[in-house]
Amino acid sequence: MNSLPIPLDEALASFDALWSPRIVTRVNDYDVRIAKVHGDHVWHAHDDTDEFFLVLDGELHISLREPDGERTVVLPRGSVFTVPRGTEHRPSAPDGAAILMFEPTGTPTVGDRHDEIPAHVDATTGHTLGT
């Protein structure tokens, strides 16, 4: 990747696509991805990996389907949350947000199991920053 510091505000300003993460760097076998989000993602689960979220701007909601029922975690700017592997979840941002995710390289944005993918969600393993 890049051997220079990467200003995240500049990286976020370099693209407009929603729910279409950009890979800003890699750490060992993990991607560090940023995304602009608005509205609902898709219910999905990652069977073999946790998913880490950091809210850079705005507010992110993550609905979870757990053994005790469904709940929603609200993450204001600066908050982090990890969705445990195998947990069905649906991120959403009613008013828009910018997020950073940390997950193994090659992890699909729609997980291993998912509902029908809406047109506004990019089913990808991330795009290189600048594409």
Give mean pLDDT in consecutive 10-residue pieces for the chain, a chain of 131 residues: 86 96 96 97 96 98 96 98 97 98 94 89 90 57
Cα gap 127→110, rounded to integer Å: 14
Q: Which residues are registered as beta bridge partners of 104?
A: 30
pLDDT at 36: 98
**3 in a domain, yes or no?**
no
**106 in a domain, yes or no?**
yes
pLDDT at 118: 87
Would you state the torsion angle of the CA atoms of residues 99, 8, 117, 76, taken in this order, to the nearest 10 degrees? 10
pLDDT at 62: 98
Q: How far is CA 3 from CA 6, 88, 109, 112, 131, in A?
A: 9, 36, 26, 32, 18
**29 in a domain, yes or no?**
yes
Its domain, for residue 41, covers 8-128
Q: Beta strands of the chain (E only): which ranges? A: 22-27, 30-40, 44-45, 51-66, 69-76, 80-83, 88-104, 113-114, 127-128
pLDDT at 130: 78
pLDDT at 115: 86
pLDDT at 3: 81
**95 in a domain, yes or no?**
yes
3-state secondary structure of 8: helix
**1 in a domain, yes or no?**
no
- pTM as predicted: 0.93
Domain count, the chain: 1
Which CATH number characterizes residue 27's domain? Answer: 2.60.120.10
**54 in a domain, yes or no?**
yes
CA Rg value for the chain = 14
pLDDT at 1: 57
**2 in a domain, yes or no?**
no
